[in-house]
Structure 1
Amino acid sequence: MEFKKAFTQLLHEVREQKPLVHHITNYVTVNDCANVVLALGGSPVMADDKNEVEEMVAIASALVINIGTLNSRTIESMILAGRQANKLGIPVILDPVGIGATQLRTKTAQEIIQEVKISVLRGNMSEVKVLSGLAAKTRGVDSGDDLQGGREIAINLAQKLNCTVAVTGAKDIISDGIKTAFIENGHPMLAKVTGTGCMATSLVGTYCGVTKDYFLAAVAGIMTMGLAGEKAYQALRGQDGIGTFKEKLFDYIFNLSPDEMMEGAKLDVQ
């Protein structure tokens, strides 16, 4: 119960402080990521030119790096921004989208991890397995793996990288190497909308912008998306489909209350 109270307090802090969340993210979901940060109560900025990323990071509360649509120009910007964030004590949240699908993605994620201290890593099971040096099944940017053995994988990678690792799927697993949380909120419809994983990472980044407890922030961000998925699906009527579902995701996050987080959380922390 005390843990649940702590992450509902984070929701209050986000809406009070309106943290600026700097994104270097992919162009498929960039608009959705910006809007989900706004819906939660934060302030998004999407700047990826190497000539301004260090200045932008300097005024931000958190940095989100998403490798969904890589190119040589933004890879350099990601490293520059990440180093600056580390220098200034600003949390860095990494989403290694599709790592394992191509050599470029794998090499880039590994380079970022080597050059930048990550606060939270958020990925699906295939992505986390690749970063852990394990065999994984990757279909484009989608996971081909289930969550079997996920607890140990998350704990080991969190200890290896000295960060919080969030593995999202049918059952979300979040670990900082000591504490591990299991979240069973969500709905299968989330997987039918492009970008819900990216948006979850942006939510985590927004919560990270108001606390130094990045494990707590990761739980709050993943929980928020899971609850929104449940509520959005429950609100569908008649011929409503994924378009309406996506709209309702934003509406629910915008209207999310601490009481709803407390009451709706399907959470186990060990």
Structure 2
Amino acid sequence: MMILEQLRKDNPLIICITNDVVKNFTANGLLALGASPAMATEKLEMDEFLTHAGALLINIGSIEEGDIENMLAAAKYANQHDVPIVLDPVACGASKFRKDFCLKLLETYDITVIRGNASELQALTGEASMKGTDADTSLSTEDVARAAYKKFNCAIVVTGEIDAICVNGKINLIENGTALLTKVTGGGCLLGAVVASFIYNETKPTLESLTEALTTYTVASEFAERASNGTLPGHFAVNLIDQLYLIQESDVAENRLVKEV
């Protein structure tokens, strides 16, 4: 069963605690897709917001010490209201502060999906060094996904040249996408929000629902590259918002490149 059409009908509220660099891009991307974004962060209102939310995104891209209480409170209330949580552990291999926070969050609360690049996920499962948000392209996303699932026992999405999704030990590999997603600030961060949108109200998402989330986004990115001046990063970013608005379930079904392993 495809989710995109139902998502657009339901217009789920997605709470995005995300980094300062990408808030506008993320909100516009979700609006184009058909979700309803709220960039709420204050712990004092989080209980009320999450009463009505379909999903929560926690993205640590510009995390500061003062953000920790807000993020932990959000996770607590999300668990209380059975709201799925997507964690984007941005650059968690670049500093002990980031990694320690992510591990604390994962140990304390039920996280539904962890979405990151291979270096970020490897840092959470063991040792990996990063220069900012850069990913080690020599890593196998499939192997990293398996290791992360084994450690955290939740759905895992690892992005790279080939994306890997692991749910209940089963893996799908996705070969759609474009390198231009790495030339735009927030390409990966918006994907985390898109994943949250596709699993709204589902704390036990299926491999199929996560595969649809990724293929919808990556096929839209391919369409954005082919659109007017799409090989230029600035135009590509605008085109991506447009293509998330235009894309249909049939487009995804006809263009997705998915391999079960």
Bin the TM-score by the shorter chain.
over 0.9
Equivalent in 85, 92, 106 of residue 99 of structure 1: 92
Query: Which residue of 1 is the match for residue 78 of structure 2?
Result: 85
Equivalent in 203, 207, 210 of residue 215 of structure 1: 207
Distance verdict in 2 for CA 1:259–1:210, change over 3 Å: farther
| Cα displacement string for residues 50-101 of structure 1 (whole angstroms, at most 9, x for unaligned residues) | 2112221121010000000111222111111101111111100000000011
User: Contact 1:185/1:227 (CA < 8 Å) preserved in 2?
Assistant: yes
User: Contact 1:24/1:74 (CA < 8 Å) preserved in 2?
Assistant: no
Output the CA distance in 1 between the equivalents of 2:66 and 2:209: 30
Query: Which residue of 1 is the match for residue 44 of structure 2?
Result: 51
Equivalent in 32, 38, 41 of residue 39 of structure 1: 32
Query: Which residue of 2 is the match for residue 75 of structure 1?
Result: 68
| Cα displacement string for residues 168-226 of structure 1 (whole angstroms, at most 9, x for unaligned residues) | 01000000142101000001111100100000000000001154524333222221221
Query: Which residue of 1 is the match for residue 183 of structure 2?
Result: 192
Query: Which residue of 2 is the match for residue 25 of structure 1?
Result: 18
User: Contact 1:137/1:144 (CA < 8 Å) preserved in 2?
Assistant: no
Output the CA distance in 2 between the equivalents of 1:143 and 1:237: 27
Equivalent in 220, 229, 235 of residue 227 of structure 2: 235
Any unmatched runs of 5+ in structure 1? 1-5
* SS class of match (1:52): helix
* SS class of match (1:118): coil
Output the CA distance in 1 between the equivalents of 2:60 and 2:121: 14
1:166 aligns with 2:151: no
Letter matched to residue 31 of structure 2: L
Query: Following superposition of structure 1 onto structure 2, how do residues 246-265 of structure 1 map, counting pairs within 5 Å?
Result: 246-265=237-256
Query: Which residue of 2 is the match for residue 118 of structure 1?
Result: 111
Any unmatched runs of 5+ in structure 2? none
Offset of residue 156 of structure 1: 2.8
> TM-score scaled to structure 1, two decimals?
0.92
Output the CA distance in 1 between the equivalents of 2:106 and 2:137: 22
* SS class of match (1:122): strand
User: Contact 2:13/2:53 (CA < 8 Å) preserved in 1?
Assistant: yes
Aligned CA-pair RMSD: 1.6
* SS class of match (1:143): coil
Output the CA distance in 2 between the equivalents of 1:19 and 1:110: 28
Output the CA distance in 1 between the equivalents of 2:122 and 2:151: 13
User: Contact 1:119/1:214 (CA < 8 Å) preserved in 2?
Assistant: no
Output the CA distance in 2 between the equivalents of 1:173 and 1:108: 24
> TM-score scaled to structure 2, two decimals?
0.95
Output the CA distance in 2 between the equivalents of 1:67 and 1:122: 12
Output the CA distance in 1 between the equivalents of 2:236 and 2:27: 18
Equivalent in 133, 140, 143 of residue 135 of structure 2: 143
User: Contact 2:32/2:245 (CA < 8 Å) preserved in 1?
Assistant: yes
User: Contact 1:229/1:249 (CA < 8 Å) preserved in 2?
Assistant: yes
Percent of aligned positions with the same letter in both sequences?
35
